[in-house]
Amino acid sequence: MTQTTTDSAHAAKAAKNMSVQTDNKSATPTTEQKLQWLRSMQLIREFENRTMQAYQQAKIGGFCHIYTGQEACAVGTIGAVNHDDPVVTAYRDHGHALARGMTPEACMAEMFGKIHGCAKGKGGSMHMFDKPNWLFGGHGIVGAQTPLGAGLAFAEKYKLEVMGEGKKKVTLCYLGDGAIDQGAFHEALNYVSVHDIPVIFIIENNGYSMGTAIKRHTANSDNLISRGQSYGINSIEIDGLDICHLYEQFKPFAEKCRESSRPGFVDLKTYRYQGHSMSDPQKYRTKDEVESFKEQDSIARLLSQLMDSGDMTEESWKELQSEIKAQVMGAMKFAEESPAPEANELYTDVYANPEKNLSPTTDFGHGLNNPLL
């Protein structure tokens, strides 16, 4: 094949994948799915309410980023793929962990720094890991999870195409709008497009990078999908405040990426009700702005739809809320009573032994098994 022919083939592939349209197939959620989504989103909402209380009582240390307002993003996208499709995200990760199937007990115990947490109390709020549920973090460095998302997707593709094992998968890699200007992200976009890696980069675009509005730090911020298109990647913008609309748009998009073994780019419009972290005074936005988005709340919107269709009543909603509150309070009790890691856990689950006579000199090992395993 000549170089000219090769270049033409790449150009044709790029043009094909720059389309923002998904397949014509629709994905209509069932009533059962909607009820499950309502429960999952309300679980995340209640969990985060208790998380904020525990943080204010100094039971949770370090940085803590609350997911309230963005629940439909994690629940809707994760609900559109298979359970064994890898997921990796940034540090606002409690919602993704719960949506993926992590128990509230393991999640809360991790934030309390307890041995029964998902990472044995060593990761805290920003580092939720759950291998049985194919969740690979929780990462604190802005944008650092994007090359990892590419690697997770590459590993599954290599396993299938080279080793003859497994099946077609698509990896979900979440990042905030504040990470889209990081160099590592652009390197990842270039790599996955060149090598046909089926990873979907999902921008949870809540409009702020910490306290900086997106239009103040990102060029062409009203057309983020042009970032993906410039790398020949199929790109789409979705309303992340309406979970049914989100699912209907995202599911065929994800399946197209899976079947074609190509990457995807999603600008998922959303909003966070709380500050960037628990220490954020939120002086960069008005209360009226926050209230205007609360009027579009994804949980209230889905609840209204279910009540209008007769699939949920005031009484059943109250019962569900009570059940979830009891479940989260049980998780709080579990975290309180879980023991702290022993001191020797400092020397376990790291990469390698240190060189002789370097501090610390204790031999490193595996330590206790992860409670999730």
User: Distances from the Cα of 55 to the Cαs of 60, 150, 254, 264, 324, in angstroms?
Assistant: 5, 33, 36, 36, 20
The sign of the CA dihedral 59, 135, 144, 202 is negative
Rounded Cα gap, residues 237 and 172, in angstroms: 16
Q: Map out the domains of the chain with their CATH numbers.
A: 25-345 (3.40.50.970)
Per residue in 251-303, pLDDT (tens digit) is 999 999 999 999 999 999 999 999 899 988 899 999 999 999 999 999 999 99
Give φ, ψ of 273 to 5 degrees.
-80, -30
Per residue in 291-302, pLDDT (tens digit) is 999 999 999 999
- Residue 190 identity: N
pLDDT at 34: 97
pLDDT at 27: 84
DSSP state of 1: -
Residues of the chain with pLDDT under 70: 1-26, 351-365, 370-373
Gyration radius of the chain's alpha carbons: 21
Half-sphere exposure of 285 (CA within 13 A, CB side): 24
- Residue 74 identity: A
CB 332 within 8 A of CB 50: yes
pLDDT at 262: 98
Rounded to 10 degrees, the C-alpha dihedral 261/262/265/270 comes to -10
* Nearest CA among 215, 226, 130 for reference residue 178: 215
- The CB density around residue 371, as the number of other CB atoms within 10 Å, is 18
Each residue of 227-246: b (16+ CB within 10 Å) or e? bbbbbbbbbbbbebbbbbeb
Residue recorded with tokens 């910490």? 210
How many helical (H) and strand (E) elements, i.e. helices and strands, does the chain have?
12, 9
- The CB density around residue 294, as the number of other CB atoms within 10 Å, is 13
- Residue 248 identity: E
pLDDT at 219: 92
Q: What is the pTM of this model?
A: 0.89
pLDDT at 369: 74
pLDDT at 356: 65
pLDDT at 9: 43
